[in-house]
Amino acid sequence: MDEQAREDFRSYVAARSPALLRTAYMLSGNRADAEDLLQTALAKTYLAWDRIREREAVDGYVRRVMVNTQTSWWRRRKVDERPTGDLPERPAHRDATADLDLHDALWTALSELPRRQRAMVVLRYYEDLSEAETAAVMGVSVGTVKSTTSRALTKLRDTSGLRDDPRTALPTGVTA
């Protein structure tokens, strides 16, 4: 890779890292895993930098690498995880504001979705990608994006902690 390509990559990372880190957080569920996920995706992107012809498509490439990497990590962890009947203790009370409670409820509901549904919801509504763009990133058809997203939104609507809160209403035009 020549010096100009390295500088282009550095500029891209400096400009897009905050937004990509937010996406990685939504995919992984915590800050440490998100940082690892983004770093891994950027390392893979660096290796492919010379092969990426359309610089406008780099965000989509990086998001696709993040989704694939997260899926791979999840599959590896799934083998090591064992269900238990004991639930972790929860704090007796919270001193957080209502907005923080809502944030927690939304995040919990989102994290309970299957990985593929969560990835599609994140790409469609957090990253604001079209159905076609989401299909390209996920490597599936537009119909699959529509049906999977519909099922995910139905599950989110049915989450009891969110059902009666008007702030969790889905965007206009979004139907299950």
102 and 132 together in one domain? yes
Q: How far apart are CA 68 and CA 41, in angstroms?
A: 9
Query: In this predicted model, what pLDDT tens digit does every residue of 57-115 receive, in sequence order?
Result: 898 999 999 999 998 888 776 666 667 777 777 655 554 566 777 778 888 888 889 99
Query: In this predicted model, what pLDDT tens digit does every residue of 27-65 receive, in sequence order?
Result: 988 899 999 999 999 999 999 998 888 878 898 999 999
| Crossing angle of the two packed helices 98-111 and 142-157, in degrees rounded to 10 | 130
- Give the domain extent around 52: 3-79
The count of domains in the chain is 2
Q: Is 18 exposed, middle or buried (0-12, 13-18, 19+ CB in 10 A)?
A: exposed
64 lies in a domain?
yes
| Whole-model pTM over 0.75 | no
105 and 75 together in one domain? no
The CATH number given to whatever domain includes residue 48 is 1.10.1740.10
113 and 59 together in one domain? no
159 and 102 together in one domain? yes
123 and 59 together in one domain? no
Contact 168, 162 (CB under 8 A): yes
